[in-house]
Chain A
Amino acid sequence: MTRQLALVSDEAETTPDVEALYARYAQRVYRWALRFGGGNIAWAEDITQDVFMSLVKRAPALDDPQQLGGWFYRVTANRCLNELRRQRLSRAFAAALHSMRGAEPDPRPAPDVAIIERGELDAALQAIARLPPAERVAFCMRHLDDLPQQEIGKILGYSKGHVSRLLKRAGSRLRKTGWSVDDG
Chain B
Amino acid sequence: MDDTRNLVRLLRAADQRMSRATLSRESHDRIRTELTAAGRPGPRRLSTMVPAPAGVAALCGALCGAAALWLVLQLIGRPSEAPESTAVRATGFAWQGDGQRCSAAARAGSLTLDGQCHIQAEQHGISIASRGQAEIVRVEDGVRLARGTAEFEVAHRPRRDPVRVWVSAGAIEVTGTRFIVEQSREGGHVDLLEGSIRFRAKDGTVTQVRPGTRFNWADRGSAPSPGAPPAAVPSPPTAAAVDTRAADRDHAAPSPTTEPPPTPPARARSSGTSAARLIERVEVLRAQRRYQEAIDLLRQSRGQSWDPHTAEVLSVEEGDLLDRVGDSARACAHWRTHAKQFPAGSYREAVRTALSRPNCR
Q: Spell out A's residues near B (CB within 8 Å).
A: 1-3, 5, 18-19, 22, 26-27, 30-31, 34-35, 39, 41, 45, 48-49, 52-53, 56-57, 85-86, 88-90, 92-93, 96-97, 100-101, 115-116, 120-121, 123-125, 127-128, 140, 143-144, 157, 174, 178-184
Q: How far is the CA of A97 from the CA of B283 in the complex (A)?
A: 10
Residues in B neighbouring A124, C-beta threshold 8 A: 7, 10-11, 14
Residues in B neighbouring A121, C-beta threshold 8 A: 10, 13-14, 17
Q: How far is the CA of A34 from the CA of B14 in the complex (A)?
A: 10
Tell me if B18 and A31 are in contact (CB < 8 A).
yes
A-B contact pairs, 14 of them (CB 8 A): A18-B36, A19-B32, A22-B35, A27-B23, A45-B23, A48-B31, A49-B27, A90-B320, A93-B313, A93-B320, A97-B313, A124-B14, A125-B11, A181-B7
Q: How far is the CA of A124 from the CA of B7 in the complex (A)?
A: 6
Partner of A179, one of B5, B12, B17, B28: B5
Q: A86-B323, A100-B275 are in contact. List 8 more A-B contacts (CB 8 A).
A: A18-B39, A22-B32, A34-B21, A48-B23, A100-B276, A120-B4, A120-B10, A140-B11
Tell me if A22 and B354 are in contact (CB < 8 A).
no
Tell me if A53 and B18 are in contact (CB < 8 A).
no
Residues in B neighbouring A125, C-beta threshold 8 A: 11, 14
Partner of B18, one of A97, A115, A128: A115
Q: Output the least CB separation between B289 and chain A (Å).
A: 9
Q: Output the least CB separation between A163 and chain B (Å).
A: 16
User: Interface on chain B toward A: helix, strand, loop, or mixed SS?
Assistant: helix
Tell me if A144 and B320 are in contact (CB < 8 A).
no
Residues in A neighbouring B316, C-beta threshold 8 A: 89, 92-93, 96
Most buried by B among A93, A96, A182: A93
Tell me if A52 and B276 are in contact (CB < 8 A).
no
Q: Output the least CB separation between A40 and chain B (Å).
A: 10
Tell me if A88 and B350 are in contact (CB < 8 A).
yes
Tell me if B28 and A26 are in contact (CB < 8 A).
yes
The reply on B76 being an interface residue by CB < 8 A is: yes
* Known contacts A34-B21, A88-B350, A93-B313; A184 and B320 CB within 8 A of each other: no
Residues in B neighbouring A18, C-beta threshold 8 A: 35-36, 39
Q: How far is the CA of A17 from the CA of B354 in the complex (A)?
A: 36
Residues in B neighbouring A115, C-beta threshold 8 A: 17-18, 21
Partner of A3, one of B4, B24, B40, B324: B40
Q: Output the least CB separation between A118 and chain B (Å).
A: 12
Residues in B neighbouring A140, C-beta threshold 8 A: 11
Q: Spell out B's residues near A (CB within 8 Å).
A: 1, 3-15, 17-19, 21-24, 27-28, 30-32, 34-36, 38-40, 76, 272, 275-276, 279, 283, 309-310, 313, 316-317, 319-320, 323-324, 346-347, 350, 353-354, 358
Tell me if B39 and A5 are in contact (CB < 8 A).
yes
Residues in A neighbouring B35, C-beta threshold 8 A: 1, 18, 22, 52-53, 56
Most buried by A among B1, B7, B310: B7
Q: How far is the CA of A149 from the CA of B21 in the complex (A)?
A: 28
Tell me if A182 and B13 are in contact (CB < 8 A).
no
User: Interface on chain A toward B: helix, strand, loop, or mixed SS?
Assistant: helix
Residues in A neighbouring B6, C-beta threshold 8 A: 179-182, 184
Q: How far is the CA of A52 from the CA of B37 in the complex (A)?
A: 12
Q: Output the least CB separation between B15 and chain A (Å).
A: 5
* Known contacts A56-B38, A96-B309, A100-B279; A181 and B8 CB within 8 A of each other: yes
Q: How far is the CA of A124 from the CA of B11 in the complex (A)?
A: 6
Q: Output the least CB separation between A105 and chain B (Å).
A: 13
Residues in A neighbouring B320, C-beta threshold 8 A: 86, 89-90, 93
Residues in B neighbouring A179, C-beta threshold 8 A: 5-7
Closest to B353 in A: A85
Q: Output the least CB separation between A149 and chain B (Å).
A: 16
Q: How far is the CA of A181 from the CA of B5 in the complex (A)?
A: 9
Residues in B neighbouring A88, C-beta threshold 8 A: 350, 353
Residues in A neighbouring B14, C-beta threshold 8 A: 39, 116, 121, 124-125
Tell me if B313 and A22 are in contact (CB < 8 A).
no
Tell me if B31 and A86 are in contact (CB < 8 A).
no
Q: How far is the CA of A19 from the CA of B29 in the complex (A)?
A: 12
Tell me if B10 and A30 are in contact (CB < 8 A).
no
Residues in B neighbouring A123, C-beta threshold 8 A: 10
Closest to B6 in A: A180
Residues in B neighbouring A35, C-beta threshold 8 A: 15, 18
Tell me if A180 and B39 are in contact (CB < 8 A).
no
Closest to A132 in B: B353
